[in-house]
């Protein structure tokens, strides 16, 4: 999904972190190996990126978090060049 988001210019960069998750599901506690996917995009693409994740994620209930962050000018300029803007 990270590569697809970058390829479609919805995100400038994707970072993938392996994790261990523990959560209740179907009348029990589950332990699963999962991945955290961090997609870096610009504010104007936030909704389109969220819709893309919801449409393409394999989970029925994916966790989609977002927050605003400041980046240095050079990185911000690079992001603006990489992400398709409407």
CATH code at 67? 3.30.70.120
Query: What are the helix and strand counts (H, E) for the chain?
Result: 3, 2
pTM of the model: 0.88
> Could you tell me the residue range of the domain that residue 10 belongs to?
2-82
The tokens for 15 are 């970072």
For the chain, what is the domain count?
Answer: 1
* Average pLDDT over all residues of the chain: 95
pLDDT digits (tens, 9 = 90+) for 2-56: 999 999 999 999 999 999 999 998 899 999 999 999 999 999 999 999 999 999 9
Q: What pLDDT, on the 0 to 100 scale, is given for residue 30?
A: 93
The answer to whether residues 67 and 60 touch, using CB atoms and an 8 Å cutoff, is: no
Q: Which stretches does DSSP call E strand in 25-68?
A: 29-40
């Amino acid at each position: 999904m990270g590569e697809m988001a970058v390829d479609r210019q919805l995100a400038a960069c994707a970072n993938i972190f392996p994790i261990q998750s523990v959560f209740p599901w179907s009348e029990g506690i589950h332990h699963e190996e999962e991945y955290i996917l961090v997609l870096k995009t610009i504010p104007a693409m936030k909704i389109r990126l969220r819709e893309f994740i919801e449409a393409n994620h394999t989970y029925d209930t994916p966790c989609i978090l977002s927050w605003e962050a400041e980046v240095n000018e050079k990185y911000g300029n690079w992001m603006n060049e990489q992400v398709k803007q409407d």
